[in-house]
Structure 1
Amino acid sequence: MRKALLLAVIALALVSCGRRGPQPQAVEPQAFADTTPPSIIYPAFGDADPHEWEGRHPGHYPVHGLDVSRWQGPIDWRTAQKSGVSFAFIKATEGGDFTDPMFDEHRRGAQGAGVPWGAYHYYYFCRPAHEQARWFIQNVPKGADLPHVLDMEWTPHSKTCTLRPDGRTVRAEAKKFLDILERHYGRRPIVYTTVDFYRDTDIGRLPKTEFWLRSVAGHPRNVYPSAIWRFWQYTGTGLVPGVQGKVDINTFNGTPETWALWKATR
């Protein structure tokens, strides 16, 4: 067992290394309380609008999960978990005055079904970072299984805020938000972003940050050259047992053993 855990530490370090990636953590293997791989790997989820992948595709990765909000409605989390959902990121807040009305229900459902969860905040460029961080903290209790998420993307269709700050401003505000949440929850959030936002703002330069990248028509290594990613959102039209209608599906960048180790160390 000790040898397997040491190999998992090495694997996690290799996945995490790189010019822009987070630094691996030095943790003794015996400190891991839960290194059990998920019960279902390589799940066979459907897709309402499947993409014809070339080369390495989502099916090559074993650990998959969802991100959800009020648009999914009630979810049968036990059915979803049994079908192969290994994690969930749940929308909690947006800007400085909006909470997702399904957040608590989704959170309790995921917890009850044994699905590891984290919450995400949709960033609003017309409010300062500290106000948005405070709003998130007011609405998201401690005790999540996964790091929380800062969702940063352009908002061209917003009725109230279509600002597009320059990259330096975006990165500075993101760092403030991440620092505040890290101090409160004890672990640094992940940053979710899209292709154009990543390109326009150079947000990949943020230090000590893990990334969750959206790419529904190509592998991240092709769509985000040189980026180091932890999660990949590969479809917005997924079909998953227990979920009504279409849902975003994501994969973790690593083996089941690396996934278990990452959860334990994060």
Structure 2
Amino acid sequence: MGIYGQDWSSYQSATPDTSGLSFAFIKVTEGLTYASPVWTAQRDHARAAGLVVGYYHYPHMANPVPAEATHFLSVAQPQPGDPLVLDWEGYDNANSSVPKASQLAYKEAWLRYVKQRMPHNPVGMYCNLDYWRHVDTTSYFADFLWIATAGLPAGQPGIQAAWLFHQYSDSGGVDRDYCHLDSTGALRSWALSFVPSGQVWPGEYLSLQSPMMHSSNVRAWQQRMSDRGWPIAVDGWYGPQSAATARAFQNDSTAHGWPLVADGIVGPETWRASWERPIS
């Protein structure tokens, strides 16, 4: 059995062919400043096709882990349950001079830092056999391992570790992947199993608009903010008071180390912070 997917970067189209695919991993960032110019289009395209979507970061391992991880998370703004990946390899100019011991330390620290920041997302590592066998010494990959062994049959990566994804081919300029779960639904359920009930972003941006927005999602968020001590009416209407509360909460979150855009709109990052940010 098993299901198939691909991983995409700016080398691929903004709208790759999704025929026969169940999932896609999309490169979002690299180093401290780069963001793929097509990642949002690829994300929207994959979601529209019903794929499970994950995001990955390519590191420059001489840089501080918190700075790179924060750059990745601030750009990707993942929804709870979205898989997050460190693309751990270092053959390029930015990494080849970094000692292997430092590369290993970077990997360990990045996975733990992102997992601490994003406890309700599966966090994992991509690497090839060379890095798995000759650079890694701990076998730590957080929640899941995505192993690359191009040229071996899909689902037969040739390792004993408990892998979940296998990159088995790069033919035709596309990296092709396999997951040993037996359906798209099973993969989605696995990803969402990291999210406590009630904390999944509902997929609806809460914003001030005309006519005024009214929904159960608005009410749920208002109730959460009221529970956190903010003076807000819990009536399901997203009016000026709700927008002002959202903006104040966003500014307060940024001041307490949870950077949010203070736009008065409750999107995935603000929704997540509403439940997960410690009450100060």
After TM superposition, the score normalised by the length of structure 1 is: 0.64
Secondary structure of 1:211's partner?
strand
Aligned match for 1:262, one of 190, 195, 201: 190
Change (3 A) 1:163 1:144: farther
Q: Which has the higher contact order (CA 8 A, sep 6+)?
A: 1
- Measured in 1, the distance between the counterparts of 2:181 and 2:138 equals 20
Matched position secondary structure for 1:212: strand
Matched, 1:94 2:22: no
Counterpart secondary structure, 1:183:
helix
Provide the secondary structure at the position in 2 that maps to 1:262. Answer: helix
Match of 2:130 in 1: 196
Cα deviation, 1:209-245, whole Å, max 9, x if unaligned, reads 411000112258976532221100011115xxxxxxx
Distance of 1:71 and 1:141 partners within structure 2: 22
- Are 1:250 and 2:177 matched, yes or no? yes
Partner residue in 2 for 1:172: 105
Contact 1:195-1:224 within 8 A present in 2 as well: no
8 A contact 2:81–2:193 mirrored in 1: no
Identity of aligned residues (%): 26
Distance in 2, Cα, partners of 1:140 & 1:260: 19
The Cα of 1:196 is off from its aligned counterpart by 1.0
Instruction: State how 1:208-223 maps to structure 2 within 5 Å.
Output: 208-218=142-152
Matches of residues 29-178 of structure 1 in structure 2 within 5 Å? Answer: 61-76=1-16, 80=18, 83-143=19-79, 145-155=81-91, 157-158=92-93, 160-167=94-101, 169-178=102-111
What is the aligned length?
192
Q: CA shift at 1:127, angstroms? A: 1.0
Question: Counterpart of 1:67 in structure 2: which amino acid?
Answer: D
Structure 1 residues 27-82: Cα deviation after superposition (integer angstroms, max 9, x where no partner): xxxxxxxxxxxxxxxxxxxxxxxxxxxxxxxxxx4310110011112215xx51xx
Structure 1 spans left out of the alignment, 5+ residues: 1-60, 239-245
Q: Which is greater in Rg?
A: 2
Q: Is the 8 A contact 1:129 1:173 kept in 2?
A: yes
Paired residue for 2:211? none
SS at match of 1:142: coil
Distance 1:90 1:260, change over 3 A: closer
CA distance in 2, matches of 1:203, 1:89: 26
**Aligned-pair CA distance for 1:179:** 2.2
Partners of 2:58 and 2:117 lie apart in 1 by 18
TM (normalized to structure 2)?
0.61
* Alignment RMSD: 2.4
CA offsets 1:94-140 (integer angstroms, 9 cap, x no match): 11111111111111222222222011001212212112111112211
Tell me if structure 2 keeps the 8 A contact 1:92–1:120: yes
- Separation in 2, partners of 1:228, 1:220: 15
Residue 88 of structure 1: how far off its partner (Å)? 0.6
Q: Aligned equivalents of 1:104 and 1:203: distance in 2?
A: 35
Instruction: Answer whether contact 1:204 1:227 (CA < 8 A) is retained.
Output: no
